[in-house]
Chain A
Protein backbone atom coordinates (compact mmCIF):
# COMPACT_ATOMS: atom_id res chain seq x y z
CA UNK A 1 0.00 0.00 0.00
CA UNK A 2 1.33 3.45 -0.88
CA UNK A 3 2.17 6.05 1.73
CA UNK A 4 -0.71 8.28 2.82
CA UNK A 5 -0.84 11.83 1.50
CA UNK A 6 0.73 14.09 4.13
CA UNK A 7 -1.51 17.13 4.58
CA UNK A 8 -0.98 20.54 6.21
CA UNK A 9 -4.15 22.45 7.17
CA UNK A 10 -4.03 26.25 7.20
CA UNK A 11 -7.18 28.04 8.41
CA UNK A 12 -7.67 30.78 10.99
CA UNK A 13 -10.71 29.07 12.51
CA UNK A 14 -9.60 26.34 14.93
CA UNK A 15 -13.02 24.75 15.08
CA UNK A 16 -13.15 24.31 11.31
CA UNK A 17 -9.52 23.22 11.16
CA UNK A 18 -10.16 20.57 13.79
CA UNK A 19 -13.28 19.41 11.99
CA UNK A 20 -11.37 18.89 8.75
CA UNK A 21 -8.56 17.12 10.61
CA UNK A 22 -11.09 14.78 12.21
CA UNK A 23 -12.66 13.99 8.85
CA UNK A 24 -9.32 13.32 7.15
CA UNK A 25 -8.24 11.13 10.06
CA UNK A 26 -10.89 8.67 8.93
CA UNK A 27 -9.31 8.32 5.48
CA UNK A 28 -6.59 5.66 5.38
CA UNK A 29 -4.79 7.32 2.46
CA UNK A 30 -4.55 10.72 4.15
CA UNK A 31 -2.63 11.98 7.17
CA UNK A 32 -2.77 15.45 8.71
CA UNK A 33 0.81 16.27 9.67
CA UNK A 34 0.29 19.83 10.84
CA UNK A 35 -1.99 22.81 11.28
CA UNK A 36 -1.44 26.55 11.08
CA UNK A 37 -3.71 29.49 11.83
CA UNK A 38 -2.60 32.04 9.24
CA UNK A 39 -0.80 32.25 5.93
CA UNK A 40 2.58 33.20 7.34
CA UNK A 41 2.61 30.32 9.82
CA UNK A 42 1.38 28.12 6.99
CA UNK A 43 4.40 29.01 4.85
CA UNK A 44 6.72 28.30 7.79
CA UNK A 45 4.99 24.99 8.51
CA UNK A 46 5.21 24.00 4.85
CA UNK A 47 8.97 24.59 5.01
CA UNK A 48 9.36 22.60 8.21
CA UNK A 49 7.00 19.71 7.53
CA UNK A 50 7.38 19.28 3.75
CA UNK A 51 3.80 18.02 3.29
CA UNK A 52 2.53 16.54 0.05
CA UNK A 53 -0.49 18.82 0.12
CA UNK A 54 -1.43 22.12 1.78
CA UNK A 55 -5.10 22.95 2.25
CA UNK A 56 -5.29 26.74 2.50
CA UNK A 57 -8.07 29.11 3.52
CA UNK A 58 -8.13 32.42 1.63
CA UNK A 59 -9.23 35.05 4.13
CA UNK A 60 -6.87 34.93 7.09
CA UNK A 61 -5.15 37.49 9.32
CA UNK A 62 -1.41 38.30 9.07
CA UNK A 63 -1.11 36.81 5.57
CA UNK A 64 -3.97 35.70 3.35
CA UNK A 65 -4.06 32.45 1.44
CA UNK A 66 -3.52 34.04 -1.97
CA UNK A 67 -0.15 35.41 -0.89
CA UNK A 68 0.68 32.25 1.06
CA UNK A 69 0.14 30.00 -1.94
CA UNK A 70 2.55 32.12 -3.96
CA UNK A 71 5.28 31.82 -1.32
CA UNK A 72 4.70 28.12 -0.73
CA UNK A 73 4.86 27.35 -4.43
CA UNK A 74 7.98 29.48 -4.86
CA UNK A 75 9.83 28.12 -1.85
CA UNK A 76 8.70 24.54 -1.26
CA UNK A 77 9.41 21.88 -3.85
CA UNK A 78 6.87 19.28 -4.95
CA UNK A 79 3.97 20.46 -2.85
CA UNK A 80 0.38 20.68 -4.01
CA UNK A 81 -1.91 23.41 -2.74
CA UNK A 82 -5.69 23.44 -2.63
CA UNK A 83 -7.63 26.52 -1.60
CA UNK A 84 -10.59 25.68 0.69
CA UNK A 85 -12.65 28.77 1.38
CA UNK A 86 -16.08 30.37 1.51
CA UNK A 87 -14.84 33.06 -0.87
CA UNK A 88 -15.96 32.76 -4.46
CA UNK A 89 -14.77 36.28 -5.27
CA UNK A 90 -13.42 36.08 -8.82
CA UNK A 91 -10.22 37.96 -8.00
CA UNK A 92 -9.44 35.52 -5.21
CA UNK A 93 -10.04 32.54 -7.46
CA UNK A 94 -7.97 33.86 -10.34
CA UNK A 95 -5.15 35.23 -8.19
CA UNK A 96 -4.89 31.98 -6.23
CA UNK A 97 -4.72 29.94 -9.43
CA UNK A 98 -2.23 32.30 -10.99
CA UNK A 99 -0.12 32.05 -7.85
CA UNK A 100 0.10 28.31 -8.26
CA UNK A 101 -2.91 26.78 -6.51
CA UNK A 102 -3.74 23.34 -7.88
CA UNK A 103 -7.41 23.53 -6.96
CA UNK A 104 -10.05 25.91 -5.64
CA UNK A 105 -12.77 24.47 -3.45
CA UNK A 106 -15.61 26.00 -1.50
CA UNK A 107 -16.46 24.99 2.03
CA UNK A 108 -19.98 23.98 1.04
CA UNK A 109 -18.66 20.64 -0.21
CA UNK A 110 -19.77 17.38 1.31
CA UNK A 111 -16.98 15.41 3.00
CA UNK A 112 -16.94 12.76 0.26
CA UNK A 113 -16.47 15.49 -2.35
CA UNK A 114 -13.51 16.87 -0.44
CA UNK A 115 -11.87 13.43 -0.26
CA UNK A 116 -12.40 12.93 -3.99
CA UNK A 117 -10.93 16.31 -4.82
CA UNK A 118 -7.89 15.75 -2.62
CA UNK A 119 -7.29 12.46 -4.40
CA UNK A 120 -7.77 14.09 -7.78
CA UNK A 121 -5.21 16.81 -7.11
CA UNK A 122 -2.73 14.14 -6.07
CA UNK A 123 -3.35 12.58 -9.50
CA UNK A 124 -2.26 15.91 -11.01
CA UNK A 125 -5.81 16.99 -11.79
CA UNK A 126 -7.12 20.47 -10.97
CA UNK A 127 -10.34 20.30 -8.99
CA UNK A 128 -12.58 23.34 -8.90
CA UNK A 129 -15.85 23.60 -6.97
CA UNK A 130 -18.79 23.53 -9.40
CA UNK A 131 -19.98 26.97 -8.29
CA UNK A 132 -16.57 28.51 -8.90
CA UNK A 133 -16.16 26.81 -12.26
CA UNK A 134 -19.50 28.20 -13.32
CA UNK A 135 -18.45 31.74 -12.43
CA UNK A 136 -15.17 31.34 -14.32
CA UNK A 137 -16.95 30.09 -17.40
CA UNK A 138 -19.47 32.95 -17.24
CA UNK A 139 -16.62 35.43 -17.14
CA UNK A 140 -14.97 33.76 -20.11
CA UNK A 141 -18.19 33.80 -22.10
CA UNK A 142 -18.80 37.45 -21.32
CA UNK A 143 -15.20 38.36 -22.07
CA UNK A 144 -12.82 39.75 -19.50
CA UNK A 145 -13.67 43.26 -18.33
CA UNK A 146 -10.44 43.60 -16.41
CA UNK A 147 -7.49 42.64 -18.58
CA UNK A 148 -4.19 42.84 -16.74
CA UNK A 149 -0.62 42.56 -17.84
CA UNK A 150 0.75 40.63 -14.90
CA UNK A 151 1.38 37.29 -16.50
CA UNK A 152 4.69 35.45 -16.57
CA UNK A 153 4.96 36.19 -20.30
CA UNK A 154 3.91 39.73 -21.14
CA UNK A 155 3.54 39.07 -24.86
CA UNK A 156 2.50 35.47 -25.23
CA UNK A 157 2.16 35.68 -29.02
CA UNK A 158 5.93 35.99 -29.15
CA UNK A 159 6.41 32.63 -27.48
CA UNK A 160 3.15 30.73 -27.82
CA UNK A 161 2.18 29.73 -31.33
CA UNK A 162 -1.16 30.69 -32.86
CA UNK A 163 -2.28 27.08 -32.63
CA UNK A 164 -1.28 26.85 -28.97
CA UNK A 165 -3.13 30.07 -28.20
CA UNK A 166 -6.17 28.79 -30.05
CA UNK A 167 -6.11 25.67 -27.91
CA UNK A 168 -5.61 27.66 -24.71
CA UNK A 169 -8.74 29.66 -25.56
CA UNK A 170 -10.68 26.42 -25.78
CA UNK A 171 -9.15 25.24 -22.51
CA UNK A 172 -10.39 28.49 -20.98
CA UNK A 173 -13.85 27.72 -22.28
CA UNK A 174 -13.73 24.60 -20.17
CA UNK A 175 -13.29 22.07 -22.96
CA UNK A 176 -11.45 18.83 -22.28
CA UNK A 177 -8.61 17.68 -24.54
CA UNK A 178 -10.99 15.23 -26.17
CA UNK A 179 -13.53 17.96 -26.90
CA UNK A 180 -10.83 20.27 -28.26
CA UNK A 181 -9.54 17.50 -30.50
CA UNK A 182 -13.01 16.92 -31.87
CA UNK A 183 -13.61 20.62 -32.50
CA UNK A 184 -10.27 21.18 -34.25
CA UNK A 185 -10.31 17.82 -36.00
CA UNK A 186 -6.93 16.75 -34.61
CA UNK A 187 -5.93 13.92 -32.31
CA UNK A 188 -6.19 14.13 -28.55
CA UNK A 189 -2.46 13.48 -28.31
CA UNK A 190 -1.75 16.52 -30.46
CA UNK A 191 -3.92 18.67 -28.21
CA UNK A 192 -2.09 17.32 -25.18
CA UNK A 193 1.25 18.22 -26.74
CA UNK A 194 0.11 21.76 -27.60
CA UNK A 195 -1.21 22.30 -24.07
CA UNK A 196 1.98 20.96 -22.55
CA UNK A 197 4.17 23.18 -24.74
CA UNK A 198 2.07 26.27 -24.05
CA UNK A 199 2.18 25.69 -20.29
CA UNK A 200 5.95 25.32 -20.43
CA UNK A 201 6.37 28.55 -22.37
CA UNK A 202 4.13 30.43 -19.96
CA UNK A 203 5.80 28.87 -16.90
CA UNK A 204 2.51 27.49 -15.69
CA UNK A 205 1.72 24.23 -13.99
CA UNK A 206 -1.78 23.41 -15.10
CA UNK A 207 -4.62 24.26 -17.46
CA UNK A 208 -6.58 26.14 -14.83
CA UNK A 209 -3.74 28.64 -14.55
CA UNK A 210 -3.76 28.85 -18.33
CA UNK A 211 -7.49 29.51 -18.33
CA UNK A 212 -7.02 32.26 -15.76
CA UNK A 213 -4.24 33.70 -17.90
CA UNK A 214 -6.42 33.82 -21.01
CA UNK A 215 -9.15 35.61 -19.04
CA UNK A 216 -6.80 38.07 -17.41
CA UNK A 217 -5.10 38.96 -20.66
CA UNK A 218 -8.36 39.35 -22.54
CA UNK A 219 -7.22 36.67 -24.96
CA UNK A 220 -10.65 35.07 -25.31
CA UNK A 221 -12.03 34.20 -28.71
CA UNK A 222 -12.09 37.15 -31.14
CA UNK A 223 -15.54 38.66 -31.67
CA UNK A 224 -17.62 36.70 -34.11
CA UNK A 225 -16.26 33.39 -32.95
CA UNK A 226 -18.41 31.25 -30.72
CA UNK A 227 -17.35 31.32 -27.09
CA UNK A 228 -20.02 29.06 -25.63
CA UNK A 229 -20.14 25.32 -25.73
Chain B
Protein backbone atom coordinates (compact mmCIF):
# COMPACT_ATOMS: atom_id res chain seq x y z
CA UNK B 1 0.00 0.00 0.00
CA UNK B 2 1.40 3.37 -1.00
CA UNK B 3 2.46 5.72 1.77
CA UNK B 4 0.25 8.77 2.01
CA UNK B 5 2.22 11.95 2.55
CA UNK B 6 1.29 13.71 5.75
CA UNK B 7 1.96 17.33 6.68
CA UNK B 8 1.53 19.07 10.00
CA UNK B 9 1.27 22.86 10.13
CA UNK B 10 2.07 24.49 13.47
CA UNK B 11 1.16 28.15 13.25
CA UNK B 12 0.65 31.33 15.20
CA UNK B 13 -1.49 32.86 12.44
CA UNK B 14 -4.43 30.70 11.45
CA UNK B 15 -4.87 32.56 8.16
CA UNK B 16 -1.44 31.35 7.08
CA UNK B 17 -1.77 27.86 8.52
CA UNK B 18 -5.26 27.15 7.22
CA UNK B 19 -4.40 28.71 3.86
CA UNK B 20 -1.35 26.49 3.44
CA UNK B 21 -3.45 23.52 4.46
CA UNK B 22 -6.07 24.40 1.86
CA UNK B 23 -3.39 24.65 -0.81
CA UNK B 24 -1.81 21.33 0.10
CA UNK B 25 -5.15 19.58 0.53
CA UNK B 26 -6.13 20.61 -3.00
CA UNK B 27 -3.14 18.54 -4.14
CA UNK B 28 -4.42 15.49 -2.28
CA UNK B 29 -2.00 15.84 0.62
CA UNK B 30 -3.19 15.03 4.10
CA UNK B 31 -2.73 18.09 6.29
CA UNK B 32 -3.30 18.77 9.98
CA UNK B 33 -3.18 22.28 11.40
CA UNK B 34 -2.60 23.19 15.02
CA UNK B 35 -1.93 26.48 16.72
CA UNK B 36 1.55 26.88 18.15
CA UNK B 37 0.33 27.98 21.57
CA UNK B 38 -1.67 24.80 22.10
CA UNK B 39 1.09 22.59 23.51
CA UNK B 40 -1.16 19.60 24.08
CA UNK B 41 -2.42 19.68 20.52
CA UNK B 42 1.10 20.03 19.12
CA UNK B 43 2.37 17.03 21.11
CA UNK B 44 -0.59 14.91 20.04
CA UNK B 45 -0.15 15.85 16.39
CA UNK B 46 3.56 15.02 16.47
CA UNK B 47 2.79 11.50 17.69
CA UNK B 48 1.58 10.80 14.18
CA UNK B 49 5.17 11.38 12.93
CA UNK B 50 4.17 13.54 9.95
CA UNK B 51 6.48 13.49 6.94
CA UNK B 52 6.77 17.27 6.94
CA UNK B 53 6.20 19.82 9.69
CA UNK B 54 5.69 23.44 8.65
CA UNK B 55 6.38 25.78 11.53
CA UNK B 56 5.24 29.38 11.79
CA UNK B 57 6.19 30.31 15.32
CA UNK B 58 8.54 32.86 16.82
CA UNK B 59 9.20 30.52 19.74
CA UNK B 60 12.51 28.73 19.06
CA UNK B 61 11.45 25.97 21.44
CA UNK B 62 8.83 24.95 18.90
CA UNK B 63 11.39 23.64 16.41
CA UNK B 64 13.31 21.90 19.21
CA UNK B 65 10.14 20.17 20.34
CA UNK B 66 9.37 18.98 16.82
CA UNK B 67 12.89 17.62 16.39
CA UNK B 68 12.71 15.84 19.74
CA UNK B 69 9.26 14.32 19.33
CA UNK B 70 9.29 13.57 15.62
CA UNK B 71 12.93 13.32 14.55
CA UNK B 72 12.11 11.81 11.17
CA UNK B 73 9.95 14.73 10.08
CA UNK B 74 11.35 17.24 7.64
CA UNK B 75 10.96 20.73 9.07
CA UNK B 76 10.10 23.80 7.02
CA UNK B 77 10.40 27.05 8.95
CA UNK B 78 7.84 29.50 7.55
CA UNK B 79 8.09 31.93 10.44
CA UNK B 80 9.53 34.75 8.37
CA UNK B 81 6.70 34.66 5.89
CA UNK B 82 4.58 36.74 8.22
CA UNK B 83 5.56 39.48 10.59
CA UNK B 84 6.60 43.08 10.93
CA UNK B 85 8.62 44.84 8.27
CA UNK B 86 9.66 43.06 5.14
CA UNK B 87 12.58 40.65 4.95
CA UNK B 88 14.86 40.73 1.95
CA UNK B 89 14.36 37.00 1.48
CA UNK B 90 10.90 35.73 0.80
CA UNK B 91 9.73 32.19 1.24
CA UNK B 92 7.84 30.51 -1.56
CA UNK B 93 5.41 27.62 -1.61
CA UNK B 94 7.89 25.61 -3.66
CA UNK B 95 10.08 25.33 -0.55
CA UNK B 96 7.30 23.31 1.04
CA UNK B 97 6.82 21.16 -2.05
CA UNK B 98 10.55 20.48 -2.10
CA UNK B 99 10.33 19.09 1.42
CA UNK B 100 7.63 16.56 0.53
CA UNK B 101 8.94 12.98 0.20
CA UNK B 102 7.01 12.51 -3.04
CA UNK B 103 6.39 15.49 -5.25
CA UNK B 104 2.73 15.97 -6.12
CA UNK B 105 1.54 15.34 -9.64
CA UNK B 106 2.59 18.16 -12.00
CA UNK B 107 -1.02 18.93 -12.92
CA UNK B 108 -1.76 19.58 -9.28
CA UNK B 109 0.72 22.43 -9.31
CA UNK B 110 -0.95 24.26 -12.14
Are these two chains actual partners, yes or no? yes
Q: Which residues of A contact B (CB under 8 A)?
A: 12-16, 18-23, 25-26, 59-61, 86-87, 107-111, 114
Q: CB distance B26 to A108 under 8 Å?
A: no
9 further A-B contacts with Cβ under 8 Å, apart from A12-B86, A21-B19, A111-B18, are A14-B91, A15-B90, A15-B93, A16-B82, A18-B23, A19-B23, A22-B23, A59-B84, A109-B14
Chain B 81-110 interface residues, beta-carbon cutoff 8 Å to A: 81-86, 90-93
**Shortest Cβ distance from residue A26 to the other chain B in the assembled complex, whole angstroms:** 6
Of all chain A residues, the one with the shortest Cβ separation from B96 is: A15
Q: Is the CB of A13 within 8 A of B22?
A: no
Whether B20 is near chain A, meaning CB under 8 Å from some CB there, is: yes
- Give the CA-CA distance A227 to B91 in the complex, in Å: 46
Contact B19 A18 (CB under 8 A): yes
Residues of A within 8 A of B26 (CB): 22
Contact of B86 with A108 in the complex, beta carbons under 8 Å? no
The A-B contact count (CB < 8 A) is: 77
What CA separation (Å) do A108 and B82 show in the bound complex?
A: 10
Q: Would you call B13 and A107 a contact (CB within 8 A)? A: yes
Q: Which residues of A contact B13 (CB under 8 A)?
A: 107-108
CA distance A19 to B20 in the complex (A): 5
Residue in chain A with minimal CB distance to B92: A14
CA distance in complex: A87, B14 (Å)? 16
Q: Report the Cα distance A60→B88, complex, angstroms.
A: 11
Alpha-carbon separation in the docked complex, A96 to B30 (Å): 39
27 contacts between A and B (CB under 8 A): A13-B82, A13-B86, A13-B91, A14-B81, A15-B16, A15-B78, A15-B81, A15-B91, A15-B92, A16-B19, A18-B19, A19-B19, A21-B19, A22-B22, A22-B23, A23-B15, A23-B18, A23-B22, A60-B86, A86-B82, A86-B83, A107-B16, A108-B14, A111-B15, A111-B18, A111-B19, A114-B15
Report chain B residues within 8 Å CB of A87: 84
Q: In whole angstroms, what is the CA distance A15 to B83 when docked?
A: 12
Q: Which of B14, B17, B78, B84 contacts A86 (CB 8 A)?
A: B84
In the bound assembly, the distance between CA atoms of A214 and B78 in angstroms comes to 40
How many Å from the CB of A117 to the closest CB on chain B?
A: 12
Instruction: Assess the A14–B93 pair: CB atoms within 8 A.
Output: yes
Q: Which residues of B contact A109 (CB under 8 A)?
A: 14-15
CB-defined contacts of B16 to chain A, threshold 8 Å: 15-16, 19, 107
Distance between A66 CB and nearest chain B CB, rounded to angstroms: 14
5 tightest CB-CB pairs across the interface, nearest first?
A: A19-B19, A15-B81, A22-B22, A22-B23, A23-B19
A109 to B16, CA, bound (A): 10
Q: Mark B1-34, 1 if CB is under 8 A from A, else 0.
A: 0000000000011111111101100100000000
Which residue of chain B is the closest to A26 with respect to CB atoms? B22
Closest to A23 in B: B19
Query: Within B44-65, which residues are at the interface with A (CB < 8 Å)?
Result: none
